[in-house]
Chains A and B, each alone.
Chain A
Amino acid sequence: MSKTDVSKKALLSVNDLCMYFDSAGRRIKAAEHVSFEINEGEVFGLVGESGSGKSSIGKCIIGLNRATSGSISFHGTELTGIKSRREYTEKMRDIQMIFQDPMSSLNPKKQVGQIIRDALKIQHIGKDAKERDKMAADAFRRVGIPVEYADRYPRSFSGGQRQRIGIARALAGKPKLVIADECIAALDASVQAQIVNMINEIKKETGTAFLFISHDLSMVRFLSDRIGVLHLGYLLETGTAEEIFREPMHPYTRKLLGAIPRCQCRILLRAANHSVRLSATTLR
């Protein structure tokens, strides 16, 4: 732990979280005794190859998946084991999610302004329709979508713009923690950079903490304060972004770092070989 972590308060702490999927008599272990903390105003990057359980952990926190055992506490309140929906809505107001696929994360039959207003209304945020209107407009402004576009339908926006709208929906209620589940994976490189820069700005301006789930290590490095490396459900190591990238402790992390594609052709080839070997070892 570095000094900066100690001075900040933990916003979310995940303790000994296990999550199993039982299907057809087989037990798939998505998370095995995972523990980490996210401090206020910090971006925590969760990396790992596909199938390592990154998304399952994110969904556990937001309540889409149920944890098999372990605890998740947010601001000191326990999130696992909440039964009633009302209690849940009240507690979850400060956690929001940005989804992976901008094409399917917005309801095609609703105007984008309506999508955000509805989200606020369901969560009982804002006193009346007027206030919610204003909050939605603020959210649009923050993600750089002109407010006049609020009465258009999702189909008239590009992928990057839709992802911005998805981010606006997450930010409209001024949450304390946003879970970004592979939120840049479906976008092309230049749009990825825009979105990542935007998240960075939002984090600086509003002090919102992010759980940034991704397999794109270079993006995670750019954005994250701290990083956790996940492999087959086990959290192998956590540390600040610098620590992980400068001196990775775990051999798997080293392999993962070696697999980052670079611009020179020969290195690129070697990296490609590396990642093939990597997936071969994990299959075993």
Chain B
Amino acid sequence: MLSGWIEMSQISRAQVLHVKEMEYIQAARTIGAGNRHIIFGEILPNIMGKMITQIMISIPAAVFLEAFLSFVGLGMPPGSCSLGTLLSEGFKSVLLHPYQLIPSAVLMILLIVGSHLVANGLKKATE
């Protein structure tokens, strides 16, 4: 959680560096546009798509990380509702009572695949 912003800031920095060399930024400069106009009016709309996509991609990653930590017992305390806790409880008795594992596993898969599909859709829409 502490380091979650690093990737995001790297990506937006790289995008800004890329966009600010475009000729339309120079065009804005030649007519005397201020920094505020150039940052919010010219650059931000052009990196918005990439930033939204990045947020959407980081959601399934966060879900997976939480589930993983709970699964190995580092996350939520036992008893609270978490996919990872459910999975680890179900995993202990998977041979006798598979119905304890399967619903939470299916839910996990649907959640991650679903948010990936949404992220992809957004990526295509913003391009």
Q: CB < 8 Å: which of B22, B24, B28 contacts A122?
A: B28
Q: CB < 8 Å: which of A85, A89, A92, A99 contacts B23?
A: A99
Q: Are B26 and A99 in contact (CB under 8 A)?
A: yes
Check A92/B32 contact, CB under 8 A, given A109-B45, A109-B46, A122-B37: yes
- A97 and B26 CA atoms in complex are apart in Å by 10
Which of A8-16, A32-40, A100-108 forms part of the interface with chain B?
A: A100-108
Q: CB < 8 Å: which of A64, A85, A89, A107 contacts B42?
A: A107
Q: Are A63 and B30 in contact (CB under 8 A)?
A: yes
- A109 and B22 CA atoms in complex are apart in Å by 13
B contact residues around A88 at 8 Å (CB): 32
- A89 and B32 CA atoms in complex are apart in Å by 5
Q: How many residues from A make CB contacts under 8 Å with B?
A: 25
Q: How many residues from B make CB contacts under 8 Å with A?
A: 17
Q: How many A-B residue pairs have CB under 8 A?
A: 52
Residues of A within 8 A of B (CB): 62-64, 85, 88-89, 92, 96-97, 99-101, 104-110, 118-119, 122-123, 166, 169
Q: What are 25 residue pairs bridging A and B, where the CB atoms are less than 8 Å apart in the complex?
A: A62-B30, A63-B30, A64-B26, A64-B30, A85-B34, A88-B32, A89-B32, A96-B30, A97-B27, A97-B30, A99-B23, A100-B23, A101-B23, A105-B22, A105-B26, A107-B24, A107-B45, A109-B45, A109-B46, A119-B27, A122-B32, A122-B33, A122-B37, A123-B31, A166-B27
